[in-house]
Amino acid sequence: MDSSQTTPQGASPAPEPTPGASAEAATSAAEPSRQVRRAARWIAAFAAAHGGGADGQAAHIGRGRTRLVLVADDGTWGDQVLPGHAEALRAAELAGVRMHEEFPPEVTERITTGVYEWRRMAGIQVGGR
């Protein structure tokens, strides 16, 4: 090691990148993208407005995009679509979402469907907006 690359006494040098390490591992350690940070802020605000926490499940929806479905503690649900699975998981992590491969029964039983959802579903079926 030359003298220009010394580390403070007692500190260990920064680890060298591992050859062949996955891009996903490098991405998770890197600073999140603006889109991920924005989604995380929205998710955190959604959770705070609806009981303080949220459960989530990430689902691939095609063309490399992932939908993060959220169920807040009060049963309100919402979603965010991100450009990839790693991005969705990172946004959920930053927002403190409890993630699941599949929603357990206690989460699905908590979901409430409001007037907006019922009107939207009826409108789609009868050719409405």
What is the residue-averaged pLDDT of the chain?
A: 82
pLDDT of residue 124: 64
DSSP designation for 90:
H
Q: How do residues 97-122 score in pLDDT, each as one tens digit? A: 999 999 999 999 999 988 888 888 87
pLDDT reported for residue 17: 46
Rounded alpha-carbon distances, angstroms, from residue 3 to 6, 16, 36, 114: 6, 18, 39, 66
More confidently predicted of 58 and 8: 58
Interatomic CA distance for residues 26 and 115, integer angstroms: 43
Question: What pLDDT, on the 0 to 100 scale, is given for residue 29?
Answer: 59
pLDDT value for 126:
58
